[in-house]
Chains A and B, each alone.
Chain A
């Protein structure tokens, strides 16, 4: 993070009325220090309760951060704090890794009803894999500080689900001096939405355009992947011919030195490359199984159709939504893929029990499925942990709920070596809060991203302070 990103005055009022003056004072000094120095001093969070995620809870623990990484984690008695470290007394606090939201629209929207602030999805066509959320991502969005102030440090940003293939996701960090710094992985995955019932079927015959049915959606999607296979082989063929040509050219050039005059007759025409097609090109990493599809479906029948389509092209996938697939959860488990369960607030169908969707994470967990949570939101990303907490009231074990927004998510998105737990060597994305991270009442006191204390302010805090006088 650039120093400029820290230029906001940290809010004193934010913590007013809470009993942690010592924590606050040290933090203020630290924030001011961070503005002026290059942050090379280690920071030690001392005395808090550590929720490590990977190796249990440590009471009276220490987290040491340096150079943007976690350099030590453990009981206060076992960690040696370097003499040059800035020590923050976190007694009474709960410390846990930064939370990861597995599907958001952060940086793609500002004011939902104002279309000029939205870059959510191209609805002109269903097959738009060449749309890259990374290219629309707005790093200065006012929504990002609001989300990270509640401990969300990383997120997947995805296009809106209005197309079968709406474009490619990115994996972001919620702090940084510029968009490129925040976009940790571009095109990390691609949504495939087989949710036709929710989309194109509406309207009378006169209003319809292809595809207006599930058959249409499936046929179009199949054609797209077939075309991509074809495209890929044309290019391989071209690459092969091109290699052959340059080999021959080299040979004749070598020969040419010996037998000048023969070269004109021996030369074959140079192969011309196929016309580039951005759409088909974008599908190739997925056809090659190098990246994951995020496969969304709701009902048992749509889910199974979508899975067979994915299998037809040997796509690697994780599942998304499946809010109304309770009758086939054993089948879901047999696929041995993770499931993004969403914020579990989707309404049950009329014939379903009130808690059908609330209990989905618990039902999946029971069957050995790895679950992760997503807010599917932009303005509401800060409430991600509440949904995980709520799922525990319907049977999801507490530790699993916490994992679903930390380590499980890091594993699903291929960043578990850097994120998702308090472990030595991982990125120092660390949250200090006054209690249980999954309870709606818990107040986050400080967030560190890459070891940097984030200014705990946003435009809402500023408005609050302006009108509290």
Chain B
């Protein structure tokens, strides 16, 4: 029974009135769950020992050592274990059935990752079992301007539409450096150099400006009304240019795959040239070299904890990147970019404590609230606060270590993973049912 509307539920109650138990009748309008006896790692307001969280209809209603306890709520005893917000992976390519790159042209902003989204991919479940509840599924890095991302909740086993994060802001993927030049250069096409990369990107944005001007002129005429409006003919719609224009209009959050620090600076300059904002640099392995500039422009990074040397532009990667950048005021997220690492992002975040001495809360923020900001959903997930979605993980063991593994994972208040379950350990149930 999932978020059935009140009227439908009332009808059901009416039909089965005599058969229903009193307990169900009492919770006719709300499904209340209380997780108690947990060390609640809120991310935003410290840890609460012996803490409790009250969830109603998928939202967090109260958090604290003493909370309002609704009558008839189902109680989950966390047995003193750690409770964290669900992990947010701000850079993932799972569940796309290998349709990650439309590598047939360096500019493909009208590709919608949602159209390739495979909600039955087991990788969603394996990440869920590692505590991931939200992921940003991005286009790959073959193209300078790839496609538009889809944001998912890891409600493995539910219907496709239930896995789509409701009303998540739109993101678009840019790339730079080796990947585009390798993909097109190997075919003797433009771009095959970094200057080619940026020329292709600038050309696309110039065309978008023209397209936008045409539409702006048309809309102005329509707005003016009268004869002018009657005579006005709309320009031809072009999905590609429309998507690019949305970048210029600030309707798309720009997520840029970028390794080298010089390229980050060029990307920042180009964003200023065309008047859009960069939400985050992804990978960003040299962010520590230009952290001041990133902070000044309010650009976050979604980086690896300690990957390095897999290609030339990753040669200067250092495991202190996350903490050095953070100390200079950059919002830092640790992401997976990997079907494997997404299953243990908690360990990856813990490395920030070792390399550069991030605090527990700072490390946890890198895989929750900061990652949620990059995705644009930090008002909904990423911390344990009243009003946020009840995406929660109960950990067997301390999560920021080699040893912590999720015992139960809840999304919107429902249990989607329970380690004690047989078989795949996947499930979808409301506590108390």
Contact = CB atoms under 8 A, between A and B. Distances in A.
Given A439-B402, A441-B400, A350 B308 contact: no
A394 B396 CA distance: 11
A86 interface: no
Given A345-B340, A439-B403, A441-B354, A111 B312 contact: yes
Nearest to A390: B402
Contacts of B400: 441
Contacts of B129: 354-355
Given A354-B125, A463-B318, A468-B324, A389 B308 contact: no
A463 B403 CA distance: 31
B324 A467 contact: yes
Contacts of A460: 308, 317-320
Contacts of A380: 306-307
Nearest to A401: B402
A109 to B, nearest CB: 8
Interface string B292-322: 0000000000000011111110111111100
Q: Which 6 A-B pairs have the closest CB atoms?
A: A389-B402, A113-B311, A354-B129, A460-B318, A379-B309, A112-B310
B1 to A, nearest CB: 26
B316 A463 contact: yes
Interface string B338-351: 01100110010011
A467 B328 CA distance: 11
Nearest to B309: A379
Contacts of B347: 386, 390, 440
B326 to A, nearest CB: 13
A344 to B, nearest CB: 11
Contacts of A378: 309
A348 interface: yes
Contact of B122 (A113, A350, A383): A350
B380 interface: no
A110 B308 CA distance: 10
A281 interface: no
Contacts of B289: 467
Nearest to B261: A467
Contact of B424 (A354, A440, A461): A354
Interface string A427-465: 000000000001111110000000000000000110110
A114 B403 contact: no
Contact of A347 (B126, B314, B344, B357): B126
A347 B318 CA distance: 27
Given A441-B350, A441-B353, A111 B401 contact: no
Given A347-B340, A464-B320, A112 B396 contact: no
A111 B289 CA distance: 21
Contact of B311 (A112, A441, A464): A112
Interface of A: 17, 110-114, 142-143, 146, 345, 347-348, 350, 353-355, 378-380, 382-383, 385-386, 389-390, 392-394, 438-443, 460-461, 463-464, 467-468
Chain A contact residues, majority secondary structure: loop
B319 to A, nearest CB: 7
A253 to B, nearest CB: 64
Given A390-B344, A393-B405, A441-B350, A112 B397 contact: no
A112 B309 contact: yes
A369 to B, nearest CB: 22
Contacts of A146: 308
A149 B414 CA distance: 44
7 contacts: A146-B308, A354-B425, A355-B129, A390-B402, A441-B351, A441-B354, A460-B308
B404 interface: yes
B401 A353 contact: no
A149 to B, nearest CB: 11
B288 A467 contact: yes
Which of A111, A350, A378, A441 has the most chain B CB atoms inside 10 A of its CB? A441
B345 to A, nearest CB: 12
Given A379-B307, A386-B402, A393-B402, A111 B315 contact: yes
B166 interface: no
Contacts of B314: 111
B178 interface: yes
B310 A113 contact: yes
A302 B398 CA distance: 38
Contacts of B235: none
Contacts of A442: 354
A393 B424 CA distance: 18
Contacts of B324: 464, 467-468
B423 interface: yes
A146 to B, nearest CB: 8
A329 B7 CA distance: 54
A113 B312 contact: yes
Contact of B126 (A111, A354, A382): A354
A350 B94 CA distance: 14
Contact of B318 (A353, A441, A464): A464
Interface string B413-427: 000000000011100
Contacts of A112: 309-311
B309 A143 contact: yes
Nearest to B307: A379
Which of A17, A392, A439, A442 has the most chain B CB atoms inside 10 A of its CB? A439
Nearest to A434: B354
Contacts of A110: 309
Contact of B401 (A17, A345, A439): A439
Contacts of A382: 306
A3 to B, nearest CB: 28
B337 to A, nearest CB: 14
A412 B289 CA distance: 44
Contacts of A348: 126
Nearest to B403: A393
A459 to B, nearest CB: 8
Contacts of A392: 402-403
Given A393-B403, A467-B288, A379 B339 contact: no
B180 to A, nearest CB: 14
A6 to B, nearest CB: 23
A389 B397 CA distance: 12
A11 B344 CA distance: 31
Which of A382, A394, A440 has the most chain B CB atoms inside 10 A of its CB? A440
Contact of B306 (A142, A383, A438, A468): A383
Contacts of A353: 423-425
A335 B122 CA distance: 33
A438 B350 CA distance: 13
